[in-house]
Amino acid sequence: MTDKADHSSGISRRALLNRGLASAAMMAVTSALVPASGSRASGGPPVATPKHKEMRLLSDRPLNMEAPAHLLDTAVTEADRLFVRNNGLMPVNPNSASWELLIDGESVTSPTSFTLDQLRSAFEVISLQITLECGGNGRSEFDPPAPGNQWTTGAVGCPKWTGVRLRDVLEKVGIRDDAVYIGYYGSDTHLSGDPNKVPISRGVPMHKALEPETLLAFAMNDAPIPIEHGYPLRLVVGGWPGSVCGKWLERIQVRNKVHDGPKMTGNAYRVPCEPVARGSQVADDAMCIIESMPVKSLITTPRSGMLCSVGDTLRVGGFAWAGDDAVDSVDISADFGVTWTRAALEKPVNRFAWQRFNYALPLKKTGYFEVWAKATDQSGRSQPMVVPGWNPKGYLNNACHRIAIQVV
Amino acid sequence: MRGRLSALVMILGGVAFLFGAADAMSAESPLIDGEGVQIVNAQCGVCHSLALVAQNRADRAGWRALIRWMQDKHGLWPLGEFEAPILDYLETHYAPAAVGRRRPLAPALMPELSTGEKR
């Protein structure tokens, strides 16, 4: 198999086979789901980004992939290493020229549709770097296990998004004083094939929808958004679970009550309103909607498993983010949490962008070491060293990231 | 078997999905081989990747709850006579292991103790 053939499926077949995750069935279906690579500049149909060969495929139907930590060592996450979290099947060849976004709902005075050109020309276009993290990132660590995709640490990234403010569009359309929540609808389809089933339709309260950083985005990293990330239009809402950022966006309803679309209700994207012991049964009415994600950090260099030389100084670096808050500090331990030392921390380029940290670790002794990172937000909340509160669906694991090195 | 599944899919209105399901059925499954694996491949692989099964762990009650959730929310049909062998298979091969409050780093993340650069 040539490298070119590898890329035509959008992901490296060899890498998958090496990981023992792939079967012929997965290959066949993944090839069908991830359109062949081609030139965007030609104006042809949208194409999926060929994903980096080290991306970890969790499921091909629906498509779900995460990045090993060391792939995320760039300030702006490239498309080939941004995690993919799909609930349904992606639309096939959506047409950006005829694409329309409908704004309607109980609290809209006059329902209005916009083409993408109308959005671009009628409203100020802005670019922001906004961190997206799946609410279930880290789910694989819960005990007893929580059902769903078993994300480790890689369902996070911070690309640059370009679009218009949702606030500007809603103000132009006109919303009533009784508005409570927005709910999005996209053009993805349910796994069962039932055309009457919506795979996912979530949203945020009005105060979040009207924040100046909440975008209707039509570009990612200065290119059209890749199909698996929502081409041609998606919501980008900073600091909350990625699932509020609806992809392949066709419709936003402004609701006069908390939105009740699929995966807003029951126990989806909810955690127990009060903490529970591991393995507890929790009734749906005792589950509360996740809002801001918690403070978290990721060591992106070196990659875990490095052999290092004694006497050297090891550069430990990565990123930290804090949901609606900002990161105040990042501390590093190389002795299992016995001592912590403060890393250098950069300011975010804008609200909701992750923040680079750097630390020079002197390697004074030989042996096995784990390097742990612990971020603290501006409200004084830190990452726990063990897995935080168990919850039935396995959300919000922000335990400190650990990598291993051997000093020889 | 494929004819039976195709009929099921069509009953569910998933005609457009037929080809994907047929692909999944005719190819190799990522699941551990064992008694009942073919039933799991056939019933579970119609709608979603079998890798979703393989990456999850639960006891019998947990797997049953997942089946009920798919039936309540996602259009899974009644499994009838297949439910018991499916649960037998899943609780045998995909049971949770007790890992405590935090498990060790995964083997793939560990240094190799042989000489020289690891990568």
Enumerate the domain spans of chain B. 2-96
Contact A192 B74 (CB under 8 A): yes
Of B16, B73, B76, the CB nearest to A193: B16
pLDDT in tens, A173-226: 999 999 999 999 999 999 999 999 999 999 999 999 999 999 999 999 999 999
Using a CB–CB cutoff of 8 Å, tell me whether B108 touches chain A: yes
* Residue A398 located in a structural domain: yes
Mutation target vs A (from B32, B52, B53, B94; most A CBs, 10 A cutoff)? B52
Contact A195 B13 (CB under 8 A): yes
Report the distance separating Cα A48 and Cα B64, nearest Å. 36
DSSP 8-state assignment for residue A292: S
With beta carbons under 8 A apart, name residues in chain B contacting A150.
55-56
Q: What phi and psi, each to the nearest 5 degrees, are found at residue B2? A: -65, -35
Contact A57 B15 (CB under 8 A): no
Considering only A127-131, A350-354, B88-92, B111-115, which range has the smallest mean pLDDT?
A: B111-115
Contact B49 A62 (CB under 8 A): yes
A135 in the same domain as A218: yes
| Residue A284 predicted with pLDDT over 60 | yes
The number of distinct structural domains making up chain A is: 2
| Residue A403 predicted with pLDDT over 80 | yes
How far away is chain B from the Cα of A212, in angstroms, using its nearest Cα? 35
Of B17, B66, B111, the CB nearest to A193: B17
The residue type of A402 is R
Contacts of B47 (CB under 8 A, 6+ apart): A61, A191, A192, A193, B14, B17, B21, B74, B75, B76
* A67: nearest Cα among A22, A15, A109: A15
Report the distance separating Cα B49 and Cα A218, nearest Å. 30
Using a CB–CB cutoff of 8 Å, tell me whether B11 touches chain A: no
* B106: nearest Cα among A165, A370, A355: A370
In this prediction, residue A211 carries a pLDDT of 98
Contacts of A139 (CB under 8 A, 6+ apart): A146, A148, A149, A150, A151, A393, A394, A395, A397
Average pLDDT rounded to a whole number, residues A87-116: 97
pLDDT in tens, A301-332: 999 999 999 999 999 999 999 999 999 999 99
| Residue, of A374 and A10, whose pLDDT is higher | A374
Contact A370 B52 (CB under 8 A): no
Using a CB–CB cutoff of 8 Å, tell me whether B36 touches chain A: no
A260 in the same domain as A332: no
Q: What count of other Cβ atoms lies within 10 Å of the Cβ of residue B35?
A: 11
* Residue A326 located in a structural domain: yes
The residue type of A294 is P
A343 in the same domain as A194: no
8 A C-beta contact, residue A278 and residue B79: no
A303 in the same domain as A175: no
8 A C-beta contact, residue A241 and residue A133: yes
Considering only A41-45, A114-118, A122-126, B106-110, which range has the smallest mean pLDDT?
A: A41-45
Report the distance separating Cα B101 and Cα A379, nearest Å. 26
Q: Which residues of A329-340 are buried (b: 16+ CB within 10 A; e: fewer)?
A: bbbbbbeeeeeb
Give the three-class secondary structure for A283. Answer: coil
Orientation angle between helical segments B18-26 and A24-33, nearest 10 degrees: 160
8 A C-beta contact, residue A320 and residue A345: yes
CATH number of the CATH domain containing A326 = 2.60.40.650
The residue type of A391 is N
Question: Which structure tokens are listed for A263?
Answer: 């995966």
* Residue A234 located in a structural domain: yes
Beta bridge partners of A401: A373
Contacts of A318 (CB under 8 A, 6+ apart): A69, A72, A73, A297, A298, A299, A300, A301, A356, A357, A373, A401
Of A28, A57, A194, the CB nearest to B13: A194
Report the distance separating Cα B88 and Cα B36, nearest Å. 8
Give the three-class secondary structure for A264. Answer: coil
Give the three-class secondary structure for B109. Answer: helix
In this prediction, residue B98 carries a pLDDT of 78
In this prediction, residue A48 carries a pLDDT of 66
A238 in the same domain as A145: yes
Mutation target vs A (from B60, B90, B109; most A CBs, 10 A cutoff)? B109
The secondary element (H helix, E strand) that includes residue A183 is: strand A181-186
* Residue A144 located in a structural domain: yes
pLDDT in tens, A222-262: 999 999 999 999 999 999 999 999 999 999 999 999 999 99
| Residue A18 predicted with pLDDT over 70 | no
Average pLDDT rounded to a whole number, residues A371-381: 98
The secondary element (H helix, E strand) that includes residue B68 is: helix B60-73
Using a CB–CB cutoff of 8 Å, tell me whether B33 touches chain A: no
Give the three-class secondary structure for A141. Answer: helix
Of B28, B111, B119, the CB nearest to A24: B28
Report the distance separating Cα A86 and Cα A203, nearest Å. 16
* A190: nearest Cα among B74, B69, B34: B74
How far away is chain A from the Cα of B110, in angstroms, using its nearest Cα? 4
**Domain range for residue A388?**
296-407
Report the distance separating Cα B97 and Cα A319, nearest Å. 32
Contact A23 B105 (CB under 8 A): no
Contact A404 B111 (CB under 8 A): yes
Residuewise pLDDT in 10s, chain B (119 residues):
344 444 433 333 333 333 333 333 335 789 999 999 999 999 999 999 999 999 999 999 999 999 999 999 999 999 999 999 999 999 999 999 877 778 889 999 999 854 444 44
How far away is chain A from the Cα of B12, in angstroms, using its nearest Cα? 7
Beta bridge partners of A101: A114
Report the distance separating Cα A292 and Cα A395, nearest Å. 12
* A266: nearest Cα among A296, A250, A287: A287
Q: Residue A405's Cα: distance from chain center in Å? A: 28
pLDDT in tens, A36-59: 333 333 343 344 678 999 999 999
Contact A370 B105 (CB under 8 A): yes
A334 in the same domain as A244: no
* Average pLDDT score over chain A: 90
- Among chain B residues, CA nearest to A197: B74
A378 in the same domain as A251: no
A219 in the same domain as A132: yes
How far away is chain B from the Cα of A369, in angstroms, using its nearest Cα? 10
CATH number of the CATH domain containing A176 = 3.90.420.10
Using a CB–CB cutoff of 8 Å, tell me whether B77 touches chain A: no
| Residue A352 predicted with pLDDT over 90 | yes
Average pLDDT rounded to a whole number, residues A326-354: 98
> How much of chain A exceeds pLDDT 90, in percent?
88
The residue type of A143 is D
DSSP 8-state assignment for residue B99: -
* A290: nearest Cα among A248, A239, A326, A256: A239
Report the distance separating Cα A295 and Cα A313, nearest Å. 28
A140 in the same domain as A226: yes
